[in-house]
Amino acid sequence: MPTNIVVPSLGESITEATLLRWLKNEGDYVASEEPVAELETDKANVDIPSSAAGVLRQAKKPGDTVKVGETIAQVEEGAKPAAPSGGAAASSTPAKPIPSAIPASGTHPTESRASAKVEDLRPSVRRLVEENKLDPAAITPTGPGARIIKEDVVRHLDEQKQSNGKGTTTAPPPASAGLVTSVTSSPTKPPTTAPATEGFDAHGVKRVPMSKIRKRIAERLVQAQQTAAILTTFNEVDLSAIMALRAKYKDKFNETYGVSLGFMSFFAKAAVLALREFPRVNAFIDGDDVVYHNYVNLGIAVSTERGLTVPVLQHAESMSFAKIETEIKRLATAARDGKLGLQELSGATFTITNGGVFGSLLSTPILSPPESGILGMHAIKDRPMAVNGKVEIRPMMFVALSYDHRVVDGRESVSFLVRLKDALEDPARLMLEI
């Protein structure tokens, strides 16, 4: 008897999703719990596992809107995939070629599994393989069920670099890059320019449906401006002490914790200290009540190809510098691959966004409802500053706090930024949490 594969509960307030793509083909044999489809919700992409082992029978097409609890496929338990008539050698339909030099014969059994089809790889893995023109058969798999995972591809690229003594070197992030940094050592695919007429009609117009996540972003931005009394206050921070600290200890920090020491951990720690003193910035309005929190779930805005995503560091107040940096790296990777879990996108009480990674010098960030505060970081620029009666060149950053004036007064918002500034300009206070 066939077993249904249904759309699982996708989190609070999410009732439907879009079937983005099938990860397994019609008639493929799938193992129990093996991902077979990818759904797009208004918060994240979600892999749907098979509910049993057997042959997959698809009931929906990519692009279809599906509801929670709806059947998208069935699995024929005990069935085996149909063998091509006349055997593999006599197949009249050749397999889709893989864009790499895969031997036509004499392939080891384990290699034939790895080199089956590029389409069978997970989306993030497939993208890396295709961008770098790799032979999947040459990559040693370590994932569940002997599948190739992203770490296998990254390791393979590193081995290639070491063996030939050359390759693309990932440049270190600029001084302003405290939010999203490079998380893989894979070479960057050179940008391609699509023909100017591709997809446009005779009048030079093209319509592209908005993705669910883009529509959700648009709704929330409009909601924020219609429901909150948004005001922004500014200050500037001298980052000399932090940059000196990073230069002195970054190598030892990386050696000890296996992650780079970026700027975000300093700003996260400073924000936690300031929120502790000004709890209204970490609160929000619910009806006629102000809801306070004795914890900080810190949203970190990440720009992806699909739009702005805000993964959440749960209980950032209890995290060390290393834990913050590790989580940011993990969440940024998952965000770019569209693989954030729904629980990783929920519950933020305060958000930090960094326009400095794109060169922004000053901006007014928009609140993410129902939060009452969002901190904007910007580009670090050397500027002449008056220090103890003398002019010195210092690395300066403008910071902006947008806040809901219904909850936060002007005095609190200005004092919050001053507290943040004091902590960042004297990092010892962050270590001592004073």
**Residues identified as active-site:** 405, 409
Collapsing DSSP to helix, strand or coil, 171 comes out as coil
The answer to whether 34 touches 146, Cβ cutoff 8 Å, is no
Collapsing DSSP to helix, strand or coil, 21 comes out as strand
CA–CA gap between residue 264 and residue 397 (Å, rounded): 13
The answer to whether 362 touches 234, Cβ cutoff 8 Å, is yes
CA atoms within 13 A on the CB side of 70: 16
Query: Which token pair is 251?
Result: 């190598």
With the C-alpha atoms ordered 165, 168, 174, 180, is the resulting torsion angle positive or negative? Answer: negative
**Residues near 365 by beta carbon (within 8 Å), at least 6 away in sequence:** 232, 351, 353, 355, 374, 375, 376, 400, 402
- Residue 388 DSSP label: T
Degrees, nearest 5: CA angle 420-426-431 = 90
Query: How many helices, marked H, and strands, marked E, lie in the chain?
Result: 9, 19
Count of CB atoms situated within 10 Å of the CB of 355: 21
